Copies of this chain bind each other. A is one copy, B any other.
Amino acid sequence: MPPHAGPIANVSSSPYAPKYTDSLSRLTNWSIIESTLREGEQFANAFFDTAKKIEIAKALDDFGVEYIEITSPAASEQSRLDCIAIANLGLKAKILTHVRCHMDDARIACETGVDGLDVVIGTSSYLREFSHGKDMERIIKDATEVINYVKSKGLEVRFSSEDSFRSDLVDLLNLYKAVDQLGVNRVGIADTVGCANPRQVYDLVKTLRSVLKPTTDIECHFHNDTGCATANAYAALEAGATHIDTSVLGIGERNGITPIGNLIARMFTVDPDYVASKYKLHQLRDLENLIADAVEIQVPFNNCITGYCAFTHKAGIHAKAILNNPATYEILKPEVFGMTRYVSIGHRLTGWNAVKNRAEQLGLALSDDDLKAITGKIKKLADIKNQSMEDVDGLLRNFHAYKVAGDHSAIEQLLVLPEAAAAAAAAATPEAVAA
């Protein structure tokens, strides 16, 4: 879809969407090029046999990604056979393979049955020569031959530079303009070394957008060496990029690229309905577990959405607010992703509103003063060791039973605190700790 075709879709379905978007923005109209089977195969631990590749391709397709990119058939004989196998699975997703701008590779790739070729200038020396004006004809000659050949076969073709953010801007624009004239479907920008930052990405994509035909798509590929691969993808879409390269958990060369789960978390905040309409979000965790098992890694504790504590709330003030209205501290809805919220209350940072909520869940009627006294006791115990939910429940149930029985001395015994701890407990109210 041409990016300049008209005003962009209304993004008001989320309070986190930009208040005003500019005419270039593709924040609500973008596609994923899922590269777990290409970039991901370059991950240190990755070795996918044919059966595993097919399992991954089917899982990605079922999840809903628009494109699946696979390793070049020129890499090895098995790579070629796997390429043919995946291209002929009859998936909904389009299948791409990633090849150098050489006729040898293009011929092999076009015989595999893929839907398109992601063509890359395979050596940065090309660009270096280009920058000295020496080899313009050679690039154009190679590109013309390859692009015309791929198009003659009725396949999609993308043309990308490598290490785009360390290349001379004028060289880059000349190159992209030339291949655009040759009729490529997409051009690609690659932050091959992970050096780019979001404002730089925004500026380059915006400039590139103004050089290309309106119907030419822009694909972006970001490495994560300095932790910006997700934010860079977002900045690219703000500036008019149309396709983002991802891999599951971000696996790839070195510490990898934009993780598909991160991109989804980021874009969900802009337009949850659009994202939910494209992808089966409750399958994200299974998809990540499939890859984690295949390459023998653990899902990082701090993974967006599916990290094991991504929806765990602990600080007193957070727990209180979450219990009143989850939206106060959650911008992603755990249930949409098949996850559950957990409010942790058995620790020294707890607050009495969280304890009150737990008492209500247990059906125990206790006054605010009672609950504040119990909270003081929890804090004292938690100063020694975190308390489990069972510990907290036991304390609440015992207190309630003594209360019903009118056994004031048992209650006193239950709450007994040394003087210093009592003073601290009195001072500690639920808002004592904030984000």
Q: Chain A residues in contact with chain B, CB under 8 A?
A: 15-16, 18, 39, 41-45, 47, 71-72, 74-80, 98-100, 104-105, 108, 120, 122-124, 162-163, 166, 190, 192-195, 197-200, 202, 221, 223-232, 234-235, 238, 249-251, 253-256, 259, 262-263, 265-266, 268-269, 297-298, 300-304, 307-318, 321, 328-332, 342, 344, 347-349, 379-380, 382-386, 420-421, 423-425, 427-428, 431-435
Contacts and interface: CB of A to CB of B under 8 A. Distances in A.
Contact of A194 (B99, B253, B315, B331): B331
Contacts of A100: 431-432, 434
Contacts of A331: 193-195, 225-226
A428 B74 contact: yes
Contacts of A163: 328, 435
A354 to B, nearest CB: 13
A199 B253 contact: no
A42 B433 contact: yes
Count chain B CB atoms within 10 A of each CB in A41, A223, A224 and give the residue with the most.
A224
A332 B200 CA distance: 19
Given A199-B235, A255-B309, A259-B302, 5 more contacts: A76-B382, A100-B431, A100-B432, A123-B431, A193-B328
A432 B380 contact: no
A16 to B, nearest CB: 5
Contacts of A316: 75
Given A162-B434, A312-B44, A432-B100, A77 B266 contact: no
Contacts of A104: 427
B344 A44 contact: yes
Contacts of A123: 317, 431
B302 A432 contact: no
B297 A301 contact: yes
11 contacts: A15-B166, A76-B379, A76-B380, A78-B383, A78-B384, A120-B435, A122-B431, A225-B304, A227-B259, A227-B304, A251-B302
A314 B435 contact: no
Nearest to A344: B44
A297 B315 CA distance: 20
Given A235-B199, A254-B309, A434-B120, A421 B317 contact: no
Contacts of A321: 124
B77 A380 contact: yes
Nearest to A169: B19
Nearest to A262: B227
A406 to B, nearest CB: 30
B78 A307 contact: no
Contacts of A431: 100, 122-123
Contacts of A310: 225, 254-255
Given A100-B434, A424-B76, A304 B226 contact: yes
Contacts of A227: 229-231, 259, 262-263, 265-266, 304
Contacts of A105: 427, 432
Contacts of A317: 122-123
Given A428-B76, A435-B190, A349 B314 contact: no
A342 B45 CA distance: 13
Contacts of A425: 76-77
In the complex, the 7 A-B pairs of residues with the closest C-beta atoms, listed nearest first = A231-B231, A300-B300, A77-B424, A227-B230, A78-B383, A227-B262, A44-B309
B44 A255 contact: no
Nearest to A320: B123
Nearest to A47: B386
A105 B434 CA distance: 13
Contacts of A384: 78
Contacts of A342: 44
Nearest to A376: B76
Nearest to A381: B76
B225 A255 contact: no
B423 A77 contact: yes
